[in-house]
Structure 1
Amino acid sequence: GMFLVAGWGLLLTLFVVLELVRGLSCGAIRAV
């Protein structure tokens, strides 16, 4: 159970970070 929760948390964190990086990149390109 704990391993599953940790796995989901890691996956969610990775997804959020990827979205943030992509959003910042797109925002920077759009701002130029």
Structure 2
Amino acid sequence: IFVWSMKTGRLLDVLSGHEGPVHGLMFSPIN
């Protein structure tokens, strides 16, 4: 999963470790 900045368009992080499909994702703008 690639996490991109909505403000700058830059790649912020890559979340690895998932072998199957990802059906949902939640984030908190505070953290």
The TM-score, its normalising length taken from structure 2, stands at: 0.16
The TM-score, its normalising length taken from structure 1, stands at: 0.16
- Point out the structure with the larger strand share: 2
- Ranked by relative contact order (alpha carbons within 8 Å, sequence separation 6 or more), the top structure is 2
